[in-house]
Amino acid sequence: MEREVWLCPFCKTELEYWETMVVETLVDHVCDPNGPGSAQSMVKCSNPECYSNQEEVQMRWDTYGDSYTFGTKYEVREDKAIGKNVGPFGSVARKSGVEIYRNGVKKETWFKINPCWLTFNLGIFGEYQYQADYDGNVLKKSIKWKRVKKEKDGAIILYPTIFHDICQKLKWFYSDRRYFFKDPKGSFSQDELLKHYEAKLPEWDTRFYRKFCKWWVNTFYIKTFRKLQFAMGKHSIAVQWAVDDLKGKKSN
Ligand SMILES: [Zn+2]
């Protein structure tokens, strides 16, 4: 829950009303980038000794908890804030500081599994995902893994992992299959399911997960295909293509 009274992210003292002024908040900027902004009751730290109240800093916060500085110094030491998060305790900004910007928490990690992958300069790159409360405490942490390849020019390209691709594709198949069994006569459900069997991959498409899923579906769910064939009428052109494809008459 949001706190009634926010606490300063630098010294944890209560924040107090400063003045009302028109600013362009993050929300204003997203909704209407060229708009006039909105009037906000700005708050400041009630502790005069606080870093945020120093002449060169003068940090103030809007009603979302986003910060603004009115000081003379160009750069504000955000690392001086508790948890490197300049969102006040109790605000949406503190929560999103962790969840979106990952302030003060681990952002990413690398994981290299086997030497063969290293030869191809492939690594697994993980991005941490967080759920936090309004005080910026982490409630839940997970890692989203991505496959990474370093190109000759040094650029890093991210790929979803093969495992992720396979799961996605099979999930799609099982959902279409369930849908077909619920409504075997529906032409939409038939067409959607047939796509998994046809799987006429274009020549350029040599991706392992596509081949694997095609093999999986055709090996373990051939009975489903027979039912589909029966439901669609054996002589429908689409079914004939699929039959040829399964027999290997057509190349991928
Ligand atoms: Zn303070």
Predicted local confidence at residue 210, as pLDDT: 85
Predicted local confidence at residue 178, as pLDDT: 93
233 dihedral zone (left: phi>0; alpha: psi -120 to 50; beta): left
Count CB atoms within 10 A of the CB of residue 242: 24
Q: How confident is the model at residue 23 (pLDDT cuts 50, 70, 90)?
A: confident
Expressed in angstroms and rounded, the spacing between residue 159 Cα and the centre of ligand 1 is 43
Is residue 115 over pLDDT 60? no
Expressed in angstroms and rounded, the spacing between residue 198 Cα and the centre of ligand 1 is 64
Expressed in angstroms and rounded, the spacing between residue 51 Cα and the centre of ligand 1 is 6
Is residue 117 over pLDDT 70? no
Expressed in angstroms and rounded, the spacing between residue 56 Cα and the centre of ligand 1 is 14
Expressed in angstroms and rounded, the spacing between residue 210 Cα and the centre of ligand 1 is 56
Predicted local confidence at residue 252, as pLDDT: 43
15-24 contact pairs (CB < 8 A, 24+): 15/43, 15/44, 15/45, 15/46, 15/61, 15/88, 16/43, 16/44, 16/45, 16/46, 17/41, 17/42, 17/43, 18/42, 18/43, 18/44, 18/60, 23/62, 23/68
Predicted local confidence at residue 150, as pLDDT: 64
Predicted local confidence at residue 187, as pLDDT: 82
Is residue 200 over pLDDT 90? no
Expressed in angstroms and rounded, the spacing between residue 15 Cα and the centre of ligand 1 is 8
Highest mean pLDDT among 13-17, 141-145, 195-199, 210-214: 13-17
Expressed in angstroms and rounded, the spacing between residue 53 Cα and the centre of ligand 1 is 7
- The pTM for the full model equals 0.59
Condensed to tens digits (0 to 9), the pLDDT of residues 74-92 reads 778 889 999 999 999 999 9
Contact assessment for residue 56 and residue 73, using Cβ atoms and an 8 Å cutoff = yes
Expressed in angstroms and rounded, the spacing between residue 11 Cα and the centre of ligand 1 is 4
Expressed in angstroms and rounded, the spacing between residue 62 Cα and the centre of ligand 1 is 15
Expressed in angstroms and rounded, the spacing between residue 52 Cα and the centre of ligand 1 is 6
Predicted local confidence at residue 94, as pLDDT: 95
Mean predicted confidence (pLDDT) in 4-23: 94
Mean predicted confidence (pLDDT) in 99-115: 79
Mean predicted confidence (pLDDT) in 90-110: 90
Q: Residues lining ligand 1 (ion), CB within 5 A?
A: 8, 10-11, 13, 45, 47, 50
Is residue 151 over pLDDT 90? no
Mean pLDDT estimate for the chain: 84
- Cβ within 8 Å of residue 25, ≥6 positions away: 37, 38, 40, 62, 63, 64, 66
Alpha carbons 156 and 52: distance in angstroms, whole number:
38
Is residue 251 over pLDDT 50? no
Is residue 132 over pLDDT 90? yes
Domain ranges for the chain: 15-99, 108-161, 163-247
Least confident of 161-170, 177-186, 241-250: 241-250
Predicted local confidence at residue 6, as pLDDT: 95
